[in-house]
Amino acid sequence: MKITLQRKQLAGWLPEMLLVLAPLFLFVVLAKEVVKNNFSSIDWYLLSYFHGLANPSLDRIMLFFTSLGSVKFYFLAFPAILLVLVWRRRWWELKGFSLSFLGAVLLNNLLKISFHRIRPNLYLIKESGYSFPSGHAMVTLAFYGMLLFFAFQHIPSRKWRSLMAILAVFVILTIGVSRVYLGVHYPSDVLGSYLAGFSWLVVSIIAIKRLHCKRVFLGKIEKLPPEHWFTGT
C-alpha cells in the first residue's frame, strides 16, 4: 500500500519537476552563452531588424504594451488585485499571487546583479539598470501567468479558458517583443526571462497546491478538488 502510494506521488511530481527543471536548464545554458558573448551577433541582428521597423504608429503600440509591464502599472494593479482577493476572502489566491509576483521581482533583481549585463544603446526610451534578464518579460509572465491559472480554476468553459489563454500569451509575448523593439533589451534578455519566469511560475503554483492540501491520518495527503484549491474551504 505504501509503495503504491509513493509511486502515485512520484508520478504526480515528475511532470511538475520537468516543467521546472527543463526551462531552468535551458536558462543556465543560455546564461553561459550570454556571459561568453556568443549571442552578440544574433542579438544585434534582431535589434537592428526591429529598429529598422520603427515608425510613430508602431512606437505608440509598443509603448502601450510595454506600459502593461511597467513599475507604474504594477504599482496600481498589484495592490488593486490584492484588495479584491481580500474582499472576496480568497486567501490561497492571495498567497499564491503574492508569491509569484514578489518572488519574480526579487529573483529578477538578483539575476540582474549577478550578470550585470549592460543594456543595448539603440533605445527609443531610456531605461536604467542591467539588461539580463528582462524584468518586464519575467515579471509579466509571473503576473499574468498566475492570474490565468486562477481563472482556469473558476471558469468551467473550455471556450473561455482558451480565449483567456490566447490573450494572456499574446500580452506576455508582445510585452517581450516591445522591449526589443524599443531597444532596451537584447532578444536573449527576453528569452532568458521567459525561461526563468516560467520555472518560477510553476514553482509558485506547485507551492500553493501543495500547501493547500488536506492532511489526514498517517500523513496521507488528500488533495482538495480543483474548485476548492483557493477558496479556503
pLDDT digits (tens, 9 = 90+) for 9-58: 555 677 878 889 999 999 999 999 998 888 888 899 998 898 888 899 99
Residue, of 189 and 54, whose pLDDT is higher: 189
Please, what is the end-to-end C-alpha distance for the chain in angstroms?
29
Strand partners, 222: 214
The chain-wide mean pLDDT, for the chain, equals: 84
The residues, any chain, with a CB within 8 Å of residue 98's CB and separated by 6 or more, are: 82
CB 185 within 8 A of CB 134: yes
| pLDDT one-digit tens code per residue, 148-177 | 998 888 888 888 899 999 999 999 999 999
The C-alpha atoms of residue 99 and residue 150 are separated, in whole angstroms, by 14
* Res 79: pLDDT: 95
- Residue whose grid cell is 551577433: 41
pLDDT confidence band for 104 (50 / 70 / 90): very high
- C-beta atoms surrounding 137 within 10 Å: 27
For the record, the C-alpha cell of 221 comes out as: 495527503
pLDDT the model gives residue 219: 40
pLDDT band at 218 (very low <50, low <70, confident <90, very high): very low
For residues 200 and 139, the answer to whether their CB atoms sit within 8 Å is no
Asked whether the bond before 79 is cis by omega within 30 degrees of 0, the reply is: no
* pLDDT over 50 (residue 221): no
Least Cα distance to 168 among 186, 191, 142 occurs for 142
What integer is the mean pLDDT of 130-150?
A: 93
Q: What is the mean pLDDT of residues 136-145?
A: 95
Residue 223 DSSP label: E
pTM: 0.83
Phi, psi for 214 (deg, rounded to 5): -95, 115
Q: What is the mean pLDDT of residues 124-138?
A: 86
**Helix (H), strand (E) at residue 64:** helix 56-67
Predicted confidence at residue 100, as pLDDT, reads 94
Residue with cell 499564491: 96
CA 119/CA 135 separation, integer angstroms: 12
More confident residue, 127 or 26: 26
pLDDT at residue 203 greater than cutoff 90: yes
Mean pLDDT (whole number) for 83-90: 90
